[in-house]
Amino acid sequence: MARVDDLSAYRRRNRAADKAAKGNAAETAKAVEKPPASGDGRKAAATASESDIFDGLDPLAETAAQPRKKPAPRAKAAPAARAKAPAEAPPKPLVATPADGEAFHSGDRGDKKQRKLLRKLRFFLPMLLVVGLPTMIAALYYGLIASDLYYTETRISVRSPGASSAPSLMSSAMGGIQLGSASIEADSIAEFAASHDAVQQLSEQVDLRGIFTREEGDFFSRLASDASFEDLVEHYKKRVSVVYDQATGIISIGAKTYRPDDSRSLLVALNDVSEKLVNAFNQRAEEDALRIARSEVERAEQRMADVRAELLRFRLSNQELDPAQRSGGILSIISGLESEYAQVAAQLGESSAYMDPDSMQITALRNRLTAIEEQIRAEEERLTGTGEGGDRRYANVLNDYEMLVLERELAHQEYTSAITSLESARIEAQRQQVYLVPIVQPHQAEPARFPQRLQNVGLVFLASMLVFLIGRLIITGIQDHLMN
């Protein structure tokens, strides 16, 4: 823009010089008409010739070099007017002098330098603000302010006695992902280790708030002393990392604190809390698996108790300890009487063959036979009939007793089956139990591994540079769109 202004000024000077040259050319033409003196003539001729030569070099003065014809009166009055007019300054040449050219080129070079400087500022100033300033702040923080963090890691795994060591076809097709109960429990442990409940239980075992508010920590990284429990949970999630590998079933837990022993004590307490959670899982699973079996055992026990109570009431009401044994004795008596009856009847028939029917021996045999027969009927009446007072006899008593005995046997079998089912369920529950196995014990870190200062500064630089380049591309695209 400065170069265009200089050219415009140069053209204005040339136009002003052109006007002055036209007036001088007319006066010079009039002076040539008169013969000058010897010395003045030569000087005027020289001046005229130089002016003609100078005007011949300037293409803009071609029209001014041709003298116009003036009226005669003016030509005569020209010497008097020229004598009265004051001496005028010599006209400026139409072509720039070497001094003017050098000044013009030196101004042009200065303008180029200024424009180049402005272009550099336009490029580097946003770059310094977007890239240099964040990088410098990151370098100052990680180099002078950031505190050392000691990192400790532990690795645990959840195993089950019933889990097979060889992977199945489905698990191989799914990339080695485990699908058993241990895998589900491992997922639960990984989620628990980074949860609100884990922080609450850890606070009961270790001074978790004191660990994260150590004086060794810088102002920007440590937890505030008056932080709420939710802030403590968020800070815990930043300092404790939990990674679960589904292919191997290993849970990697890392902790970063300001002291080496704090990291170790934190991970030891976290392993204890996780093991308690696994034991709670096992207890709950065992209770769920044994609840139905235990209810069946309790029902069988109650039935056996009821049958035994009914049997006791039966024996007390009938005053019979074992009616089956008593009825067996009656049957044996009847059997003996029937045998004796058969012998007496045979003896009576034999004696009647050679003795008088009215003899005393025959009469005695008949009376004995009649008594045995009545005794047999009386014993049978005790078993199958009803007495004079309407009392129940042994047949009904024996029937009720046998029913109670059968119920007792069935209740005993049911109780035995329930006990067997309970033991089987307990064995299956124990076989499906999971347990926590520490693969890598937490150790005490010696060197401080974090923060990774150079790496973090480099990441800030790369991110800032990426933002700068993206913004630069967007602005360039908008400018091109507006120019088109």
| Domain spans of the chain, in order of start | 2-95, 96-146+451-484, 149-289+439-450, 302-431
- Say if CB 448 and CB 146 are below 8 A apart: no
Digit-coded pLDDT (tens) for 1-45: 444 445 556 666 767 777 776 666 666 555 544 444 444 444 444
For 157-185, the pLDDT digits (tens) are 888 775 544 444 444 444 444 444 667 88
Q: What percent of the chain has pLDDT over 70?
A: 70
> What pLDDT does 324 receive?
67
Q: Following DSSP, what letter does each residue of 388-430 receive, concatenated? A: TT----HHHHHHHHHHHHHHHHHHHHHHHHHHHHHHHHHHHHH
Q: Return d(Cα 234, Cα 218) in angstroms, integer.
A: 18
Quote the CA–CA distance of 149 and 214 in Å, as a whole number: 11
- 330 with 382: CB under 8 angstroms? yes
> pLDDT tens, 417-471?
989 988 888 888 777 788 888 888 888 877 788 888 899 899 999 999 999 999 8
The SS3 call for residue 50 is helix
Q: Cα torsion at 404, 405, 407, 412 (round to 10°)? A: 140
Choices 3.30.420, 3.40.50, 3.30.1490, 3.30.1890: CATH for 149-289+439-450:
3.30.1890
For 36-84, how does the pLDDT look when each residue is reduced to its tens digit (9 = 90+)?
444 444 444 444 444 444 444 444 444 444 444 444 444 444 444 444 4
pLDDT, tens digit (0-9, with 9 covering 90-100), for 81-136: 444 444 444 555 544 455 555 554 555 566 777 777 777 777 788 888 888 899 99
DSSP 8-state symbol, 253: E
Question: What DSSP line would sit under 339-389, residue for residue?
Answer: HHHHHHHHHHHHHHTTS-TTSHHHHHHHHHHHHHHHHHHHHHHHHHS--TT
pLDDT at 326: 67
CA distances from 233 to 89, 224, 230, 265 (A): 93, 13, 5, 18
Q: Which of 114-118, 145-149, 290-294, 383-387 has the lowest mean pLDDT?
A: 383-387
Confirm if 436 and 274 have CB atoms less than 8 A apart.
Answer: yes
pTM confidence score = 0.53
Give residue-wise pLDDT tens across range 199-244: 999 988 898 889 999 888 888 888 888 889 999 999 999 999 999 9
| Residue, of 325 and 406, whose pLDDT is higher | 406
* Structure confidence at residue 268 as a pLDDT band (50, 70, 90): very high
DSSP state of 433: -
Closest CA to 225 of 213, 238, 207, 211: 213
Per-residue pLDDT, 72: 45
Q: What's residue 458's pLDDT?
A: 92
Query: Percent of the chain at pLDDT above 90?
Result: 12
Mean local confidence (pLDDT), 304-320: 83
Tokens (6 digits) for 481: 């769109």
Residue with tokens 């060794």: 216
Report the pLDDT value the prediction gives residue 199, as an integer from 0 to 100: 92
Q: CA 317, CA 311: separation in Å to the nearest integer?
A: 10
User: What are the tokens at 248?
Assistant: 């191997």
pLDDT reported for residue 8: 57
Whether the Cβ atoms of residue 120 and residue 402 lie closer than 8 Å to each other: no
Task: Please state the φ and ψ torsions of residue 449, each to the nearest 5 degrees.
Answer: -90, -20
Determine the longest span between alpha carbons in the chain, in angstroms.
233
The angle at the Cα of 266, spanning 261 to 269, to the nearest 5 degrees, equals 125
Position of tokens 């191997």?
A: 248
